[in-house]
Amino acid sequence: MTDYWQNFWTALTLNGGYNSVVVMAGLAALGAAAGPIGALMILKRRPLLADAVAHATLPGVAIGFLIGLWLTGDGRNSAFLLTGAALTGALAAGAMHLLKDGARISEDAATAAALSVSFGLGVALLSLIQALPTGGQAGLNAFLLGQAATLNQSEAWVLAVASSMALVLLALLFKEFALIAFDPGGAAAQGLPVKFLDLMITGLMLLLIAAGLRAVGLVLILALLVTPAAAARFWTDRLPRLAALAATIGAAGAYTGGAVSTALPNAPTGAAIVLILSAIFLFSLLFAPKRGAIAAVLRRQGLRHALRRRQILVELAAGARPADPKLARSLGWIDGNGSSTPEGEAAAQAWLRDEQLRDRYLADRPEDAGRLLAAAFTPLNDLLPRDVIAELERREA
Amino acid sequence: MSPDIRAVANAEAVHDAIEAGSPLDVSGLTVAYDRAPALWNVDYVAPKGGLVAIVGPNGAGKSTFLKGALGLTPKISGRVAAFGAPVADARRRIAYVPQRESVDWEFPATALDVTAMGLYRSIGWLRPVRKKHRDAALAALAELGMADFADRQIGQLSGGQQQRVFLARALVQDADLYLMDEPFAGVDAATERTIVSLLRRIASAGKTAIVVHHDLQTVTEYFDHALMINVRRIAAGPMADVMTAENLQKAYGGRLAAPQLAAAIG
Ligand SMILES: Nc1ncnc2c1ncn2[C@@H]1O[C@H](COP(=O)(O)OP(=O)(O)OP(=O)(O)O)[C@@H](O)[C@H]1O
Ligand SMILES: [Mg+2]
């Protein structure tokens, strides 16, 4: 066990040797670029495109293996494998773009068709390859689930350079990418080359998928594209921050996942990354301050409590017995016999006055109705300046 | 008219318009989506300066006219010029306000972010949005009475407020020609007044706004010119010449109730 920790720590702190450093840096860049690209795909409502493209790389890997075997006698040449993956991925992406513009079938159906056809083809080719009387097939499994620890030097450099390139392009064009995601019509009216930019986003996504294929695996690279953005959405309402946060989460997840899989040599990198990202997603879902689930529950309970309190004040002000004596007693507004205490009387009177001043204020400024209602449980004294309240009181008297 | 003569006539009209540099000059614009044409052979030369209403029934092709003129939908035939140049060369002088339903209001952006998008072209490629751009966007929002909402996520605005954000985005572009698709749809009386005074300011600056407008009760009050279409062009010109009982009958058939007719004709 201590060995594993040792290895994990060595990789995490970039002490694992030259190759490991390049792989770790590459993974971080991959995650940092994948996060914002995924955010754009989600905002364009096309996250499934990433799914289809990732799966469509499988037949390319298989074909690359066969061509490499045929030309060089060894199928494990990563140049052939990655080129094949990029080509069939691009083919699927191109088909999806054409379908989106021209065809009468829905995009979901097109995606499902592209995904199952290409993945099926890939699996069929793989089983064919397994039956061949040659070595090296085992290495192909890395393309499914990823094996960052076993990247050779050139593979590590492809990962690092391609991911960094994508990251730079993304940063340079992010303003325009955001505009075409939000309002393609408006963007075209401004003269932006919408189709070109759209293809560029898809192209960057394909580049990342191909670059990360060997290290993260084609099934799990999807998680790297989609999960950071989904998690980041809980924390912010603004795209620049969303993109930055998704990049950070993606980079952290990929980097740590890479270290984990180095420590446990048989652990697929993709799986480690997915587990880490899912933990971050779950944490965000639960604990994000404004949009998180716990915050939402607390907010709703706070509102319910305030409403029940207010109901008691209404009843006390009308001289009636509260229908919720338990809460009224715990607030100290009624005594054991159910009759109101001096505190209860005072609270009811204060509430009544607040209510009357509110009505008076709204009679003059109906346009503030929404804002006043949003602060229904904040005492008016805290909402309006003293002189405005004094004026309202003077007129009320 | 034979097609040849028509083409010549069109070419002459285009030529004249380019000489004159009309803000928008459309000739023979035909657009089709899946099957039937949505717009058939529409000619229109917009006046220099002033407010133009595009009127016509639902599905008449009003939105399609704007999109076709801007080159946002591929046209089957026709020519479009803006300020005496192809539209593609005049984009910086044109601001477009799409129908509000055309975007996703859950998008993670604030009112200020969306307004600043109107400046992206003048900011240019590879350059970030700076403070002076945000200040300009804020000023445009303030002009539409939206300064208080600048930092609100756009989905948390009411429909009328969203419409104002769209208008602020067009305003900040400081264009010479504004094309607006139903800016009055679903807004209350106060917002309607704000939009009308914005339009008046555009017109008094010598600029042109071409606005799809559905309400025949107010169209004569707000606008000076009209383009009436129902797939084909029915009429175009000064408001009084367009809003005749005969034209309305042609565009709307028997669908207009008597009071509407009376209000529109005036
Ligand atoms: N993207 C599209 N694909 C197919 N048909 C379309 C598309 N957009 C519009 N149409 C059709 O083209 C015709 C004109 O549509 P358009 O949106 O221009 O009408 P409109 O005058 O703006 O109507 P409205 O008053 O309802 O906004 C309609 O029959 C409509 O069904
Ligand atoms: Mg329309």
Q: Does A188 touch chain B (CB under 8 A)?
A: yes
The pLDDT of A124-129, averaged and rounded, is 91
pLDDT the model gives residue A202: 94
CB contact under 8 A, B120 and A239: no
The pLDDT of A112-141, averaged and rounded, is 85
A155-196 residue pLDDT tens: 889 999 999 999 999 999 999 999 999 999 999 999 999 999
Of B88, B98, B190, the CB nearest to A183: B98
The alpha carbon of B32 and the centre of ligand 1 are apart by a number of angstroms equal to 10
Q: Whose CA is closest to atom 31 on ligand 1? A: B59
Q: What is d(CA B184, CA B162) in angstroms, rounded to the nearest whole number?
A: 12
CA end-to-end span of chain A:
79
The pLDDT of B89-102, averaged and rounded, is 93
State the number of CA atoms in the 13 A half-sphere of A221 facing the CB. 36
Q: What is d(CA A176, CA A242) in angstroms, rounded to the nearest whole number?
A: 16
Q: What is the DSSP string of A116-145?
A: HHHHHHHHHHHHHHHTSS-S-GGGGHHHHH
Mapping DSSP to helix (H, G, I), strand (E, B) and coil, where does residue B40 land? strand
A254-281 residue pLDDT tens: 999 989 888 887 778 888 999 999 999 9
Least confident of A3-12, B88-97, B137-146, B180-189: A3-12
B61 lines ligand 1 (CB under 6 A): yes
- DSSP classification of residue B100: G
B64 lines ligand 1 (CB under 6 A): yes
Confidence class of residue A1 from pLDDT cuts 50, 70 and 90?
low
The pLDDT of B177-202, averaged and rounded, is 94
- Minimum-distance ligand 1 atom for the alpha carbon of B57: 25
Least confident of A12-21, A285-294, B156-165, B178-187: A12-21
Q: What is the DSSP string of A238-297?
A: -HHHHHHHHHHHHHHHHHHHHHHHHHSTTS-HHHHHHHHHHHHHHHHHHH-TTTSHHHHH
Of residues B199, B235, B187, the one with CA closest to residue B264:
B235
Q: Whose CA is closest to atom 11 on ligand 1? A: B38
- Ligand with smallest separation from the Cα of B61: 1
Tokens representing residue B211 in the block: 């606005």
Q: Whose CA is closest to atom 7 on ligand 1? A: B33
Confidence class of residue B17 from pLDDT cuts 50, 70 and 90?
very low
How far is residue A340 CA from its own chain's centroid? Answer: 52
The alpha carbon of B225 and the centre of ligand 1 are apart by a number of angstroms equal to 23
Mean pLDDT of chain B: 89
pLDDT the model gives residue A204: 96
Contacts of B72 in chain A (CB under 8 A): 185, 188-189
The pLDDT of A101-121, averaged and rounded, is 82
The pLDDT of B65-89, averaged and rounded, is 93
Residue of B62, B67, B101 to test ligand 1 pocket, by largest number of atoms within 8 Å of CB: B62
Tell me what percent of the residues of chain A surpass a pLDDT of 90. 52
Of A179, A190, A238, the CB nearest to B110: A238
The pLDDT of A282-307, averaged and rounded, is 93
Q: What is d(CA B205, CA B58) in angstroms, rounded to the nearest whole number?
A: 32
Task: Give the CA distances from residue B4 to residues B8, B13, B25, B81, in Å, rounded to whole numbers and listed in that order.
Answer: 6, 14, 20, 21
Least confident of A66-70, A83-87, A142-146: A142-146
CB environment A152-185: b (16+ within 10 A), e (fewer): eeebbebbbebbbbbbebbbebbbbbbbbbbbbb
Residues 6+ apart with CB under 8 A from A229: A35, A36, A38, A39, A41, A42, A242, A246
- Ligand with smallest separation from the Cα of B214: 1
Q: Do residues A249 and A277 make contact, with C-beta atoms less than 8 angstroms apart?
A: yes
A227-239 residue pLDDT tens: 999 999 999 999 9
Q: Which residues surround ligand 2, an ion (CB under 5 A)?
A: B 63
- Residue A102 reports pLDDT greater than 70: no
pLDDT the model gives residue A240: 93
- Minimum-distance ligand 1 atom for the alpha carbon of B39: 14
Which one is predicted more confidently, A17 or B54? B54
Q: What is d(CA B118, CA B120) in angstroms, rounded to the nearest whole number?
A: 6
Of residues A61, A91, A65, the one with CA closest to residue A217:
A61
Give the number of other CB atoms < 10 A from CB of residue B119. 22
Contacts of A191 in chain B (CB under 8 A): 88, 91-92, 121
The pLDDT of B124-146, averaged and rounded, is 95
A364-395 residue pLDDT tens: 888 777 777 878 888 888 888 888 888 888 88
- Residue B1 reports pLDDT greater than 50: no
pLDDT the model gives residue B151: 94
Mean pLDDT of chain A: 89
ipTM: 0.88
Q: In what order do the strands lie in the sheet with B25-32?
A: B37-45, B25-32, B77-82, B85-86
Tokens representing residue A255 in the block: 């980097």
- Residue A139 reports pLDDT greater than 80: no
- DSSP classification of residue B104: -
Q: What is d(CA B197, CA B144) in angstroms, rounded to the nearest whole number?
A: 10
Write a three-state SS string for A305-368: HHHHHHHHHHHHHCCCCCCCHHHHHHCCCECCCCCECHHHHHHHHHHHHHHHHHHHHHHHCHHH
CB contact under 8 A, B123 and A175: yes
Highest mean pLDDT among A144-153, A243-252, B188-197: A243-252
CB contact under 8 A, B98 and A185: yes
CB contact under 8 A, A239 and B113: yes
Tokens 């999960």, residue located: A227
Confidence class of residue A15 from pLDDT cuts 50, 70 and 90?
confident
Least confident of A179-183, A361-365, B71-75: A361-365
The pLDDT of A44-55, averaged and rounded, is 88
Of residues B239, B261, B241, B227, the one with CA closest to residue B60:
B227
Q: Does B104 touch chain A (CB under 8 A)?
A: yes
pLDDT the model gives residue A328: 92
- Residue B3 reports pLDDT greater than 50: no
